[in-house]
Structure 1
Amino acid sequence: MSVDYNLHPKSKVGLEYLGLENNKNVFWNLTPPELYEQAISRGEAILTKDHALRVLTGKFTGRSPKDKFIVDQPSIHDDIDWGDVNQPVSEEVFDRMYDKVINYLSEKDLFVKDLFCGADEKNRLNVRVVSEAAYHGLFSHNMFIRPTKEELAVHEPEFTVVAAPHLKADPEKDGTRTSTFILCNFDKKIILIGGTLYSGEVKKGIFSVMNYLLPKKGVMAMHCSANHDEDGKTAVFFGLSGTGKTTLSADPDKTLIGDDEHGWSDDGVFNFEGGCYAKTINLSPEGEPMIYATTKMPGTILENVVLDENREPDFDDVSLTQNTRCSYPINFIPNASSTGKGNHPENIIFLTCDAFGVLPPISKLTPEQAMYHFISGYTAKVAGTERGITEPQATFSACFGAPFMPLHPTRYAELLAEKIKKHDSDVWLVNTGWTGGPDGIGHRMKLKHTRRMLSEALAGNLDNAEFVTDPIFGMAVPTSVNGVPSDVLIPRNTWDDKNAYDVKAKKLADMFIQNFKQFEDEASEELLAAAPSV
């Protein structure tokens, strides 16, 4: 190899603790240009026209949640919210797979990146990523926080991701569900990944670890974006895919703290990451100019994006997957924060894309309602997105990120409510979905109206507004917002058929209630009282 890996800075700790001390080629903390060379020379990637790196991840173009397991150990057994999301696996299965992975990797070239997760020095996690793929090295460099040379010299990994993407498990012999496996061992502080090249497993694996560790320290772990204005007023945006979390937080007039994962400590909000991992489906310079610009920059990774004959990305082509992505350091965004930190949020926004068209475009929540909607994590799929879906389908993901939350949802909700009350934060529910009727009859909320409503709320201009109570969902709805037609604010008024609205609203309210039954045993009376009324 042309790269002399011995010239690169190393952490205080070698690979002996993993059993990989005898590998001939271990590439320590390579720079992005060097990782480019390695990824291209090994056939992992090609260059785009503008010298971004295009990677195809093969069969898996997204996460494999059914193949993700937590090792069931006495030290964590009573903490974990076991179930379909947090699936248990025995220590015996982990140990068997660990031996298999280490034996496999002992004959491979390895790429090691030592990094931080968490911009807050008091609450960050020292992370190491070890993979046979150079592409994972560059992805980790983009997505985590990069230490200085001085910090790297004393870096000791507190959690290690060991990735063998081309190693497949044998379910019958190894005890896994399929040939793919993502196994998290909190006692050994190791995440094993095999059978999938998709880099999102690396990022979300560490996110899940943070979501376990931080609440035990009284730090709220959040699947959200965040920004602040020139006066330091901070806002956080929760929302599932397609609700506008990235779009609405990437305001050119605000400083972007981060776009996906944050903590809320006694000192304020901090980004977990050093980069962004944005969806690129239908990406355009008109719709998302700042994100689009990053796809033209060397250092950006384009995942599963189709290139034309000139190696120009075609972001409208979903023949490989609808989950096309780009990964880039956050400083590729011109208005990104240099510290990754913000003050205690004055405003918290829950984003939902309500395809039933019955939720108000903006409404204010009480702390109890905030807990209820946070635990519910509602959005909706529109008709036609999947075979057999002929009307909107409600989707609930607890804490707006259930796949990454090891503790019971009420643990996060109670911590969030505690911080909301302590710091007097306002909580808003914003519907970026349909108005005037459901999908197929009504139309999407105009982005300019949503932006205007948010702008007025974040500026404090709705603090003294007149509100009415939604008779079914119970939240407070402003009767007027400067720059927004008043008839848009009350969803029933936008429907031609008022009776049809009532039927749909009651149907969605019942979906909320049915979904929440799984949390009733852990919920307080005040929390249960925040449910919609049917």
Structure 2
Amino acid sequence: MNSVDLTADLQTLLTGQNVHFNLPVPHLVEKILKRQEGVLTSSGAIQATTGTYTGRSPKDKFIVEEDSTKEKIDWGAVNQPISKDVFEKLYTKVVNYLKERDELYVFNGFAGADVKYQLPITVVNEFAWHNLFARQLFIRPEGQQTKMSEQPFTILSAPNFKADPLLDGTRSETFIIISFEKRTILIGGTEYAGEMKKSIFSIMNYLLPQQNVLSMHCSANIGEEGGTALFFGLSGTGKTTLSADANRKLIGDDEHGWSNTGIFNIEGGCYAKCIHLSEEKEPQIYRAIRFGSVLENVVIDRETGEPDYSDTFYTENTRAAYPIDAIENIVKPSIAAHPQTIVFLTADAFGVLPPISKLTKEQAMYHFLSGYTSKLAGTERGITTPEATFSTCFGSPFLPLPANVYAEMLGKKIDEHSVSVFLVNTGWTGGGYGVGERISLAHTRAMVRAAIEGDLDNTEMRTDRIFGLHSPIHVPGVPDQVLEPAKTWVDEKAYQEKTIQLANEFKINFKKFSNTETIEKFGGPLV
């Protein structure tokens, strides 16, 4: 099979009588309700469930091994290769399956708010609610012509199509397969809508660095006087929550590019975790969930339509998808100047890292490459309790290129723009998971605010004797005891043992990086 055949198959699919193009939100909501794909909640949002898979399926994600890309991809457990033959046969099956559906839904949009680096995308969905999700998460044309001069990347999403591993060459019934040469993403066997979002992010993480743009798994906001801040961290560490600040304008909540002219959002919406969501703690996110939004796996009272954000019946990985302009205080378009502050967020399951530390450049590079955090329950299949993990660049599941490509770009930009970098622990204090408790969101907000506003630039610091981290002794609005982890533990000996254990895990993990001796010497643990 050649590329002409694939293109012809797609064109035939999209000219079918069953295809609906770019339906507006009210029409999609009507379709969802009529097809019983979801229910209307009290706020007007759609609630849908995703069946067996309530998180990503990283072990079922593949990249097609092709001549133009095989020497560039960092192949391994994250970027698993699959043959062109397997891809093309499965492509034909998926297209034929979609042709037979009674209705299909197509969204034409973009990834990348900066027009210079914008990627056209076409999303073909079996489910109307998935198409609503895509419409809210990606950048909408908003009056622009949807016919694009550049060939778009196409997502073919067929949740009810189950692969046969013996016949189709997959690991299970589920598959997420990216072909860079065919500019196509195949998704099947999973109803979890987040696979579409993260697949496009993976695409941008491959394309942007080759255009001298650093792609980043981070949120971003900007102050009234123009100071841009970036928040790096894996799912559940607080990117969305901390960047949605009523006193600062939101640029984006999860994915950004950093070009020679500044920051731009890759998406047009937000995909917020909403476990234990409340109007009091996270007012901007809470109020953004209204008509047109999608609540994924949130328990709903069938009589009142009220969501119960504390109920984990389906999963702890409950989500809300909404367009970015549902947030009251945003930057439009989602573009800003170079950042002045970078915050690395980590949910430390050991409970030993300081709540906030100011990093030297070497420490910044060490912790960026390490990407330490805890996988929180529900974000991936099989994760039921927090697990300590290292995710390179705070986003290794979505990085097709070698880690040093992203790390070297970040290091250069920190130097070029004199950026202050902080490590913020949003995880446990007073003990590890199961013993201690999560650090107060109010305290974390106060620490982040102090870092961004420059209050910690000249404050007195203490140096941790194990990690060498420099932590402030005083932060406005935070009890001094909270700032010193050892004082929050009942058993000081247990604290020291856990600290050394975590330091050793950092060292073991860092051995996989080559040519980083200087970074390790001046940025890593002292023992």
Normalised by the size of structure 1, how large is the TM-score?
0.91
> Which residue in 1 is equivalent to 2:479?
485
1:154 is displaced (CA, Å) by 4.4
Q: Deviations over 1:391-450 (max 9, x none)?
A: 974221111121111112221111111111111101000112233443455443333332
| Match of residue 204 from structure 1 | 198
1:102 to 81, 86, 95: 95
Aligned counterparts of 2:15 and 2:438: Cα–Cα separation in 1: 58
- In structure 2, C-alpha distance between the alignment counterparts of 1:506 and 1:480, rounded to whole Å: 25
CA displacement 1:186-231 (0-9 Å, x = unmatched):
0111001111222111111100000111111111111111111001
**Contact 2:10–2:95, Cα closer than 8 Å, also in 1:** no
> Counterpart of 1:335?
329
Distance 1:392 1:223 in 2: 20
Partner of 2:345: 351
> SS in structure 1 opposite 2:115?
coil
38-47 or 97-106, larger mean C-alpha shift: 38-47
Measured in 1, the distance between the counterparts of 2:15 and 2:84 equals 26
In 2, the alpha carbon distance for the partners of 1:179 and 1:495 equals 46
Match of 1:318 among 312, 316, 321: 312
User: What are the within-5 Å matches in structure 2 for residues 234-313 of structure 1?
Assistant: 234-295=228-289, 297-308=290-301, 309-313=303-307
When the two chains are superposed, the root-mean-square deviation of aligned CA atoms in Å is 2.5
Matches within 5 A, 1:392-403: 393-403=387-397
User: How far apart are residue 149 of structure 1 and its match?
Assistant: 2.6
1:79 aligns with 2:85: no
Matched residue SS, 2:13: coil
Structure-to-structure mapping, 1:57-456, within 5 angstroms: 57-108=50-101, 109-154=103-148, 156-295=150-289, 297-308=290-301, 309-380=303-374, 393-456=387-450
Q: CA deviation at 1:241?
A: 2.9
- Indicate conservation of the 8 Å contact 2:9/2:95, yes or no: no
Task: For 1:157 and 1:35, locate their aligned partners in 2 and report how far apart those are by CA, in whole Å.
Answer: 26
Structure 1, unpaired ranges of 5+? 1-13
Moved more, 256-265 or 50-59: 50-59
> Larger deviation: 267-276 or 432-441?
432-441
Corresponding residue number in structure 1 for 2:457: 463
Query: One-letter code of the match for 1:302?
Result: L
1:12-41 Cα offsets, whole Å, 9 max, x none, are xx9765442551222111111111122222
Distance 1:125 1:62, change over 3 A: same
Counterpart amino acid of residue 263 in structure 1 = G
In the alignment, what sits opposite 2:516? 524
Q: Which secondary structure state, in structure 1, belongs to the residue aligned with residue 121 of structure 2? A: strand
Distance in 1 (CA, whole Å) between partners of 2:250 and 2:401 is 28
1:81-113 residue CA offsets vs partner (Å, 9 max, x unmatched): 111111110001001101111121222332111
Q: How many residue pairs get matched?
A: 517
CA distance in 2, matches of 1:25, 1:391: 43
Distance 1:35 1:390 in 2: 33
State, as a whole percentage, how many aligned pairs show the same letter. Answer: 55
Tell me the distance in 1 between the aligned counterparts of 2:192 and 2:511: 34
- Against the structure 1 CA distance between its residues 284 and 486, is the aligned structure 2 distance closer, same or farther, given a 3 Å change threshold? closer
Would you say the 8 A contact 2:110–2:119 is kept in 1? yes
Amino acid of the structure 2 residue aligned with 1:350: F
Contact 1:18 1:102 in 2 (8 A): no
Taking a change above 3 Å as real, the CA distance of residues 278 and 389 of structure 1, as seen in their structure-2 partners, is closer
**In structure 2, distance between residues paired with 1:434 and 1:345:** 28
Mapping 1:18-33, distance limit 5 Å: 18-33=11-26
The 1-side partners of 2:245 and 2:207 are apart by 31
Distance 1:207 1:85 in 2: 14
Residue 9 (structure 1) aligns with: none
Q: C-alpha separation between the residues in 1 aligned to 2:160 and 2:478?
A: 53
Cα shift readout 1:262-296 (whole Å, capped 9, x = no counterpart): 1111111111111111112122222222212223x
Query: Over residues 336-380 of structure 1, what are the superposed CA-to-partner deviations in whole Å (9 max), with x where a residue is unaligned?
Result: 222111211100001112232221221111222112111211123
Q: Is the 8 A contact 2:236 2:376 kept in 1?
A: no
> Tell me, what secondary structure is at the counterpart of 2:145?
helix
Mapped to 1, the partners of 2:435 and 2:232 lie a distance apart of 27
The 3 A distance-change label for structure 1 pair 504 and 339 is same
How many angstroms apart in 1 are the aligned matches of 2:384 and 2:127?
42
| 1:461-486 superposed Cα distances (whole Å, 9 cap, x missing partner) | 22222333322212222233334333
User: Is the Cα–Cα contact under 8 Å of residues 128 and 157 in structure 1 kept in the other structure?
Assistant: no
Q: CA deviation at 1:172?
A: 0.9
| Shift, 1:145, TM fit | 0.7
SS in structure 1 of the partner of residue 511 of structure 2: helix
1:468-524 superposed Cα distances (whole Å, 9 cap, x missing partner): 3322212222233334333433333444544333222111100111122222x3x32
The 1:477/1:73 distance shift into structure 2, 3 A limit, reads same
Q: 8 Å contact 2:236–2:273 — kept in the other structure?
A: no
Cα distance between partner residues in 2 of 1:222 and 1:445: 25
Aligned to 2:4: none
Residue aligned with 2:130, SS: helix
Look up the match of 1:10: none
In structure 2, relative to structure 1, the CA distance for the partners of 1:36 and 1:448 (3 Å cut) is closer
1:314 is matched by which residue type in structure 2?
Answer: D
Q: Shift of the alpha carbon at 1:67?
A: 0.9
Matches of 1:476 and 1:280 in 2, distance apart? 32
